[in-house]
Chain A
């Protein structure tokens, strides 16, 4: 546990210095007054928790201060930590052993970090001695397939890749056939980035989802949405649209190292009930960690 938190700390260190250094001072010694509440609101809003979530948290804190007779900001800090933790679920265990292959569909908007995340996930499964197969079904973006191929080479993994502009559903189908033939444990399917407001592209994604189910009944066994951690309030709309379209059941917060925020995770959990499974903390294959609410909150609060 301590190790894990240390690793997060390393990943978040640069940002912490830049942004959250002042928090320790802010919530250090003094007594609770009007400024404290305003500072708290500023802190939460600036971590992208959004107006609604921030107000709820502050309201709960006010009640606690009132009921428990807290007077010092140090006590408040502990209470704040508890309030934040209360609003984050522990990630459910990644338990896909009963499926062979377990098919995981990776979706998200353009530039959220899907392809890099897939490389990291592949490495994560590989370290658990799973046979991983990559399926490059992003046939739209120029060189997206090549990008995943480079990763396949680096990680020494088999890959089924579509031709540019090939039908992504067909590529996914071939990929699953290959995964069955090779008796792979995990098939990771990369899809093209698409803005959730693009009707046709979302329809296309639904089709890929259906085709995967036809290739292997019960598949995909997981649909994970990759969210850029620097995203603001729009993250909730993204998550909602992708959930409606392809029943997303897990979220990966990418690029958390470049922001240390990802505060929208709270609203997504509360409103949509989708758990955060992993966080991305760098550009190397090993820079992926199971989501740890404690470390996540710590990262926000500690200077």
Chain B
């Protein structure tokens, strides 16, 4: 789906480039595609309509900057407007009297209980003394689920059988006060915004303890209903923030736009995986790219930056461009890739055609290949790594034995290395333009 949009837009952009100037008709052609992209990303119909109208107006009157072609200009405006709609990332408000109360609300199955545990783990690691409150007596074993997760992250879980949620929360608050707890996280039952009785219950909880934060937890895969859910919750109780879960899937997450637009409440967190550390701050640029279907290039760059030592990279780049890329450098690069995180996560972040290709690769297979390659290179002497041309049959056999592989594997790695070497030589000639095309 991403690829389709990118291709379509590129087609239109080419046309725009040819004409060199933005007319209303040009902008409309782009906007038709943007509209479809947003609808396919599950942005609400009415929100899309407003958005398109706003951007169209801005784009048509816009001066085309010297640095950009008209096509880039339009997509820049669209991207900027999306970022503006998504708003700035905001941190939790943890000011005021202790314990501060954070309440999580949302539909059934949106991921509240897991989110509560993730939040508890994160706040605990920041030095807070956290207590969880299991305020979902309805779903079978919801209490047990939170208790198990609480144990896993080392945070106490408050629960008293037979006590209604508002009273339960009040008692938890009292105990937290006495016990020097600094943050109280309330996991509430999943409910529809149309369920009056359960919405009353939320109001009753708020009356007992005034939460610092009331976060609406939303499944990133949600469709058009997101708008009604968000406005329903907001009409019933004062929301202070949003948390989108299951962002590690392949949903575009357009609901974020809808909900932001209708509630005006900031997005505070994204849930990005099954592990209890998988809770991320939200970055409007990355989310906007994802909704538009541009891949998570920025995220990818950030990871690469974090894993890369600037100096080392500089040295390598120089050697590469001088045509002196050795197996030693090759091994170094493999280690850096591994430092970026599990391969499957990296592959998923790739944009466009590369992302499509990456999804067809088995991450396990790739991970295994990576390991084999590393083992083979590690079984070489320094001399061999610097001068692979000395690798005769007997040396290759020794390396295969040393790395627990076959000679064929050794040959494959050497071939890959020569391919890489050739690629760098090409890059040297084209001055790096080839690579940027590969990533675009």
Please determine whether chains A and B interact with each other in the same assembly. yes
Residues of A within 8 A of B (CB): 14-15, 18-19, 42, 45-48, 50-51, 109-113, 140-144, 146-147, 149-151, 154, 164, 195-200, 203, 228, 230-235, 237-238, 255, 257-259, 261, 263-264, 283
B122 an interface residue at 8 Å Cβ cutoff? Answer: no
Are A45 and B144 touching (Cβ within 8 A)? Answer: no
B56 an interface residue at 8 Å Cβ cutoff? Answer: no
Are B107 and A142 touching (Cβ within 8 A)? Answer: no
Are B219 and A111 touching (Cβ within 8 A)? Answer: yes
Shortest B156–chain A CB gap in Å is 16
Query: Which residues, 25 to 54 on B, are CB-close (under 8 Å) to A?
Result: 36, 39-42, 44-46
Among B95-103, B243-251, B378-386, the one that faces the other chain is B243-251
CA distance A264 to B225 in the complex (A): 12
Are B224 and A47 touching (Cβ within 8 A)? Answer: yes
Fill in one digit per residue for B306-342: 1 if any A CB lies within 8 Å of its CB, else 0: 0000000000000000000000000000000000000
Residues of A within 8 A of B249 (CB): 109, 195-197, 234
Select A109's contact among B40, B221, B226, B255, beta carbons within 8 Å.
B221
Are B224 and A231 touching (Cβ within 8 A)? Answer: no
B141 an interface residue at 8 Å Cβ cutoff? Answer: yes
CA distance A141 to B114 in the complex (A): 9
B364 an interface residue at 8 Å Cβ cutoff? Answer: yes
B242 an interface residue at 8 Å Cβ cutoff? Answer: no
Q: Across chains A and B, which 6 residue pairs bring their CB atoms closest together, nearest first?
A: A232-B223, A111-B109, A150-B140, A232-B42, A142-B148, A143-B145
Shortest A206–chain B CB gap in Å is 12
Are B140 and A19 touching (Cβ within 8 A)? Answer: no
Select B224's contact among A46, A113, A151, beta carbons within 8 Å.
A46
Residues of A within 8 A of B362 (CB): 199
Are A230 and B223 touching (Cβ within 8 A)? Answer: yes
CA distance A48 to B248 in the complex (A): 22
CA distance A238 to B229 in the complex (A): 22
Are B251 and A234 touching (Cβ within 8 A)? Answer: yes
B204 an interface residue at 8 Å Cβ cutoff? Answer: no
Are B152 and A142 touching (Cβ within 8 A)? Answer: yes
Give B348's nearest chain A residue, CB to CB: A197
Residues of B within 8 A of A111 (CB): 108-111, 219, 246
CA distance A140 to B141 in the complex (A): 14
Residues of A within 8 A of B254 (CB): 232
Are B248 and A143 touching (Cβ within 8 A)? Answer: no
CA distance A232 to B252 in the complex (A): 10
* CB-defined A-B contacts under 8 Å, sample of 13: A42-B45, A50-B39, A109-B221, A113-B109, A198-B344, A199-B364, A230-B107, A232-B42, A232-B223, A233-B41, A233-B223, A235-B221, A258-B108
Give A258's nearest chain B residue, CB to CB: B192
Residues of B within 8 A of A113 (CB): 108-109
Shortest B148–chain A CB gap in Å is 4
Give A15's nearest chain B residue, CB to CB: B194
Shortest B189–chain A CB gap in Å is 10
Are A197 and B192 touching (Cβ within 8 A)? Answer: no
Shortest B438–chain A CB gap in Å is 24
Fill in one digit per residue for B61-74: 1 if any A CB lies within 8 Å of its CB, else 0: 00000000000000
Q: Known: A111-B110, A112-B109. Is A234-B194 also a contact (CB below 8 A)?
A: no
Q: Known: A110-B246, A258-B108, A264-B223. Is A45-B39 also a contact (CB below 8 A)?
A: yes
Are A51 and B40 touching (Cβ within 8 A)? Answer: yes
Q: Known: A199-B364, A228-B219. Is A45-B109 also a contact (CB below 8 A)?
A: no
Residues of B within 8 A of A203 (CB): 364
Residues of B within 8 A of A (CB): 36, 39-42, 44-46, 107-111, 138-142, 144-149, 152, 192, 194-195, 219, 221-226, 228-229, 232, 246, 248-252, 254-255, 274, 344, 348, 362-364
Are A261 and B223 touching (Cβ within 8 A)? Answer: yes
Counting chain A CB atoms within 10 Å of each CB, which of B142, B192, B195, B348 scores highest?
B192
CA distance A137 to B254 in the complex (A): 33
Residues of A within 8 A of B146 (CB): 142
Counting chain B CB atoms within 10 Å of each CB, which of A144, A228, A232 scores highest?
A232
Are B225 and A230 touching (Cβ within 8 A)? Answer: yes
Are A109 and B42 touching (Cβ within 8 A)? Answer: no
Residues of A within 8 A of B251 (CB): 232-234, 237
Shortest B64–chain A CB gap in Å is 30
Give B44's nearest chain A residue, CB to CB: A46
Are A109 and B246 touching (Cβ within 8 A)? Answer: yes
CA distance A112 to B42 in the complex (A): 18
CA distance A151 to B109 in the complex (A): 17
Residues of A within 8 A of B246 (CB): 109-111, 195
Residues of A within 8 A of B110 (CB): 111
Shortest B166–chain A CB gap in Å is 21
CA distance A1 to B40 in the complex (A): 35
CA distance A237 to B251 in the complex (A): 9
Shortest A243–chain B CB gap in Å is 16
Shortest B129–chain A CB gap in Å is 22
Select B222's contact among A141, A143, A230, beta carbons within 8 Å.
A230
Are B194 and A143 touching (Cβ within 8 A)? Answer: no
CA distance A197 to B248 in the complex (A): 8
Q: Known: A147-B141, A255-B108. Is A232-B221 also a contact (CB below 8 A)?
A: yes
Shortest B130–chain A CB gap in Å is 17
Shortest B42–chain A CB gap in Å is 4
Counting chain A CB atoms within 10 Å of each CB, which of B42, B46, B147, B274 scores highest?
B274
Residues of B within 8 A of A150 (CB): 140-141
Residues of B within 8 A of A259 (CB): 225
CA distance A257 to B232 in the complex (A): 15
Q: Known: A18-B194, A142-B148, A199-B344. Is A231-B222 also a contact (CB below 8 A)?
A: yes
Are B364 and A200 touching (Cβ within 8 A)? Answer: yes
Residues of B within 8 A of A263 (CB): 223
Residues of A within 8 A of B41 (CB): 233
Beyond contacts A14-B195, A111-B246, A140-B274: 7 other A-B pairs, Cβ-Cβ < 8 A, are A19-B228, A110-B111, A111-B110, A143-B148, A231-B221, A232-B255, A258-B108
